[in-house]
Amino acid sequence: MMTYGKVLFSTEVDSAIKTKKPIVALESTIISHGMPYPQNYEMALDVESKVRSAGAVPATIAIIGGELRAGLSTSEIEAFAKKGTQITKVSRRDMPIVIAKKLDGATTVASTMIIASLAGIPIFATGGIGGVHREAETTMDISADLEELAQTNVAVISSGAKSILDIGLTLEYLETKGVPVLGYQTLDMPAFYTRESGFKVDARVESAQEVASILHAKWKTGLKGGVVIANPVPAAYSLDLKDMECVIENALAEMKQKGIKGKDSTPFLLGKVKELTAGKSLETNIQLVLNNARVAAEIAVAYSKQ
Ligand code: PSU
Ligand code: MN
């Protein structure tokens, strides 16, 4: 009989939990569906070493053979990177199917939050969160990431939401669901490839200590749900907002024409953006994830000291 809801840890993560070391959860959809091989493999390993050098332990999360896992071996990460989109993208909805069939699953922000929460890991770093899609008023395409942020006590450090989404509506949705959006050393809501989106965050925070105190305040008050920490891409790697808008319009038009919808939208748009920016977006994507891993590790260290 399988024990449901149990997370299997790597030796490193297991000992970090036992000795109460700060841990940073990492997702696996970004590996299998977010970028091509071999850059995805290198990124996943580099992100882990960034977390380690900032004094925390990385826990890459995935479902392997139907089991919830926190902390993958190098060869498991390599398999997820190489198999890419052959690995099922798993959000909350897909979890029971993949678990029951004992399949492998690349976890999104939503399902990574679920597994991190089961594992007792409150800090999670990624690239970008899902959100309300443009034209959601007719497609109803709203990422399950937002509902997860409403109910699961995990802080997500990201570079905001990509402008393939409707960032204004995404912020409205998060407000309705009671999810604070903190700008890391900025008041501007970043839009993944760019440091600004034209929208503001709810509060600017200056340091990892300040974020940690807000997390403690939220959860110790008994307020359930996550917190979004929006950390803009380093200026040296940011792309031009107007150029990106044009690229995204083109990608969206092609997606509509091809009739691509649902869970395939995000991977399609990401691939298209990469193609249309001649690979420049890939370098930006990698750099922002590395930067988020570092900030998340600093937050995890500060959180465990308070
Ligand atoms: N945004 C990115 N890169 C990604 C994703 C989002 O810039 O790889 C992935 C994340 O795993 C996120 C998921 O949780 O896409 C959202 O997919 P959907 O919109 O189908 O919920
Ligand atoms: Mn969707």
Q: What residues are paired with 295 via a beta bridge?
A: none
Mark out the alpha helices in the chain (DSSP H runs). 11-18, 29-32, 39-53, 74-83, 95-100, 109-119, 136-139, 144-151, 167-176, 208-220, 241-258, 265-276, 280-305
Q: Rounded to the nearest whole angstrom, what is the distance from the C-alpha of residue 252 to the centroid of ligand 2?
A: 14
Give the chain's domains with CATH numbers: 7-305 (3.40.1790.10)
- At residue 11, the pLDDT reads 98
| 269 pocket-lining for ligand 1 (C-beta < 6 Å) | no
d(CA 289, CA 292): 5
Protein residues within 5 Å, CB atom, of ion ligand 2 = 141
Q: Which long-range contacts (CB under 8 A, 24 or more apart) does 240-243 make?
A: 240/194, 241/163, 241/191, 241/194, 241/196, 241/197, 243/277
Q: What is the mean pLDDT of each run of 10 residues along the chain (306 residues)?
A: 91 98 98 96 98 98 98 98 98 98 98 99 98 94 98 98 92 98 98 96 98 98 98 96 90 94 89 87 95 98 97
| pTM (predicted TM-score) | 0.96
- At residue 278, the pLDDT reads 82
Q: Considering only CA atoms, which residue is closest to atom 10 of ligand 1? A: 108
Of 60, 88, 126, the one to substitute when testing ligand 1's pocket (max ligand atoms within 8 A of C-beta) is 126
- At residue 32, the pLDDT reads 98
Residues 59 and 126: beta-carbon distance below 8 Å? no
Instruction: Give which of 292, 100, 258 is closest to 269, Cα–Cα.
Output: 258
Residues 61 and 117: beta-carbon distance below 8 Å? no
Residues 154 and 121: beta-carbon distance below 8 Å? yes
Residues 158 and 203: beta-carbon distance below 8 Å? no
List the catalytic residues.
27, 162
